[in-house]
Amino acid sequence: MKIVHIITRLILGGAQENTLITCKLLAERGHEVTLITGPAIGPEGALFEQTKSAGYETIVVDSLRREINPIIDIPAYFEIKKLLKQLKPDIVHTHSAKAGILGRLAAWSLKGKLDAGDHRLPFVLHTIHGLAFHDYQNALLNKFYIAVEKFTASRTDAFLTVADVMTEKAQAAGIGVDKPYTTAYSAIEETAFLSPPSASEITDFRRKYHIPNEAVVIVKVARLFDLKGHEYVIESARRLAAKHDNCIWLFVGDGSLTEQLKSQIQFAGLTNKFKFTGLLPPEQIPLAVHASDILVHCSLREGLARVLPQAMLCGKPVVSFDIDGAKEVVNDNTGFLVPAEDIDGLTDACEKLIADGDLRSKLGENGRNAVTEQFAPDTMVDTIEKVYKDCVS
């Protein structure tokens, strides 16, 4: 098949890594794959290096940006439409909000016009990695996003989601209720997570960030950005630090809240308890997790955070707010689910794991066994490829 994927920007992020894995494996399976994306603007880094020699073509549409701006959105729509006319794909598969809207509208406008032999082409699919509407946003803005998604869903043949709960929430909002939905868990390149680094590599990593070898390290891997929940980790640390002098909290990532979070930490008297790595390239994330003991995830909205199965692949227990798809991987056998914004519950869960190394090992091993096949690249792409074949058959 000729397949075009469209995503808004190739920053360091779960939707982007998911899309790159999909494009790579589809190309390896003999499909003709093209990736259309906007520029990677912002502090979150870029993944363009991973597209080199990956077996598919990458095209950058400069006007495809994350922010809503008709002055550039309209040219982006026409540029995507022009590219699709040239590429004549069987499948157009979109990701993320902006690319999902512009890409699907452009593809649907060409339906039945690209191949006289099949008036249904191209088939238009969209993956929901996360939803633009949520409880922590203005109600009117939520209504706007839902209306846009309903309209765009009428121009979509099928949906893929990264978690069952994404299907439930989308359909509850009336989005694509007459269209097929399929869950394809977001794949992870598992080798580096399943293969522990050497003791010397872990020691060197800890030394780089001034973390003692005997410390119990609680790591959070996320952009330092709104709704990612770093403030809850800081408050939990304030309650735990005095009782557990051997603990260090590690923030992996960068973002617009960096200085604000450092000020909060300083105000709480915890400067010596927190370490910041800044933005790490994707290949260093496994080492950061392996060099830690517990992963916390306190985001208030997320499709299904890839860092949860990544930590489990490393054999680490996880503590997560019970939001969106977290419950599909985190349970009593793999870690602790805590109600969103529940600092007492977060603190209690972390304290249990800090105090009990055997419990950390048990939950970590259970987690690794639970997610290895579920998040394997071939598992995800088998599912996606079947959806494609069902469309064109």
Phi-psi region of 278 (alpha: psi -120 to 50; beta: other; left: phi over 0): left
Mean pLDDT of 271-284: 94
User: pLDDT tens digits, residue range 121-131?
Assistant: 799 999 999 89
pLDDT above 60: residue 259: yes
Separation in Å, CA 79 to CA 37, 75, 76, 112:
11, 6, 5, 19
- End-to-end CA distance of the chain, in Å? 12
Domain ranges (residues) in the chain: 2-187+376-392, 191-371
Average pLDDT over residues 362-366: 97
Q: Residue 120: which pLDDT band, with cuts at 50, 70 and 90? A: low
Rounded to an integer, the average pLDDT of 363-391 is 96
What CATH number is given for 191-371 in this structure?
3.40.50.2000
What CA dihedral angle connects 348, 349, 351 and 356, to 10 degrees? Answer: 140
**In CATH terms, are 2-187+376-392 and 191-371 the same topology?**
yes
Place of tokens 């590429």: 87
pLDDT at 252 over 70: yes
159-191 pLDDT per residue, tens:
999 999 999 999 999 999 999 999 999 999 999
Is the confidence at residue 61, as pLDDT, over 90?
yes
Whether the per-residue pLDDT at 9 is higher than 70: the answer is yes
Q: For 85-107, write each residue's pLDDT tens digit.
A: 999 999 999 999 999 999 999 99
pLDDT confidence of residue 169:
95
Task: Give 255 or 12, the one with higher predicted confidence.
Answer: 255
Alpha-carbon distance of 98 to 90, in angstroms, equals 22
Q: Is the pLDDT higher at 313 or at 50?
A: 313
Choose between 222 and 43: higher pLDDT: 222
| Cross-strand bridge partners of residue 3 | 33, 91
Least-confidence region, from 45-54, 215-224, 311-320:
45-54
Closest CA to 92 of 82, 103, 79: 103
Question: Residues 298, 321: contact at Cβ < 8 Å?
Answer: yes
Neighbours of 268 (CB within 10 A): 15
| pLDDT, position 121 | 79
- CB neighbours of residue 74 within 10 Å: 12
**Euclidean distance between CA atoms 252 and 279, whole angstroms:** 7
Say how far apart CA 241 and CA 385 lie, in whole Å.
Answer: 49
- Label residues 216-238 b or e (16+ Cβ within 10 Å = b): bbbbbbbbbbeebbbebbbebbb
Which of 36-45, 202-211, 215-224, 236-245 has the lowest average pLDDT? Answer: 36-45
Percentage helix, strand, coil for the chain under 3-state DSSP, each rounded to 5: 45, 15, 40
Q: Reply yes or no on whether the pLDDT at 355 is more than 70.
A: yes
Instruction: Report, as an integer, the average pLDDT of 25-30.
Output: 96
- In this model, does residue 351 exceed pLDDT 60? yes
CATH topology of domain 2-187+376-392: Rossmann fold (3.40.50)
pLDDT at position 158: 97
Q: For residue 153, give Cα distances in angstroms to 108, 156, 177.
A: 11, 5, 9
Per-residue pLDDT tens for 63-84?
A: 998 888 889 999 999 999 999 9
Mean pLDDT of 358-381: 97
Query: Above 90 in pLDDT, residue 312?
Result: yes
Q: What is the pLDDT of residues 195-232, one digit of tens each?
A: 999 999 999 999 999 999 999 999 999 999 999 999 99
Nearest-angstrom CA–CA distance, 265 and 79:
46
Contact 192, 289 (CB under 8 A): no
pLDDT value for 42:
67
Let me know the angle formed at the C-alpha of 324 by 152 and 134, rounded to the nearest 5 degrees.
55
Biggest distance spanned by C-alpha atoms of the chain:
72
Strand residues in the chain grouped as ranges (E):
2-9, 32-38, 57-60, 91-95, 123-128, 158-161, 181-183, 216-221, 247-252, 274-278, 294-297, 318-321, 335-338
Roughly what angle, to the nearest 10 degrees, separates helices 14-28 and 377-392? Answer: 70
Is 99:127 a contact under the CB 8 Å cutoff?
A: no
Residues ≥6 apart with Cβ < 8 Å to 174: 146, 150
Taking phi over 0 as left and psi of -120 to 50 as alpha, with beta for the rest, 123 belongs to beta
pLDDT at 116: 52
